[in-house]
Amino acid sequence: MNTPQLDEILELMAKLQEDDYVPKNVKIRLTNACNALSCPEKAISLRIDESLQELDEISEDSNIPGYTRTQIWNIVSRLEDIK
């Protein structure tokens, strides 16, 4: 079951996936991060950890726009607050 905070984070990720300026490889990683957070069979801490790993790899990508990187950091910060 998702908390309201996780639902907000998933919504932020979905908006990033729809952004035309976000590179395709980043969108794929965002999809993986969303899938990790949405998996009901796993404990919430494990879901957050898997999502954070994907987001960390995204933030290290040198090809993403600065604005997108800032949004990724915002999502990471929110996930770490839940954890």
pLDDT digits (tens, 9 = 90+) for 33-82: 999 998 888 888 999 999 999 999 998 888 888 899 999 999 999 999 98
Helices assigned H by DSSP within 19-43: 24-38
Rounded Cα distance between 22 and 61, Å, is 11
Sequence-ordered strand ranges (E) for the chain: none
| Confidence grade of residue 9 (pLDDT, cut at 50, 70, 90) | very high
Is the pLDDT reported for residue 1 higher than 60?
no
Distance between CA atoms of residues 6 and 67, nearest Å: 22
User: What's the average model confidence in pLDDT over 11-19?
Assistant: 93
Q: Please state which CATH class domain 4-82 belongs to.
A: mainly alpha
The model carries a pTM of 0.86
Give the Cα separation of 50 and 44 in Å (integer): 10
The rounded distance, in Å, linking the Cα atoms of 23 and 3 is 29
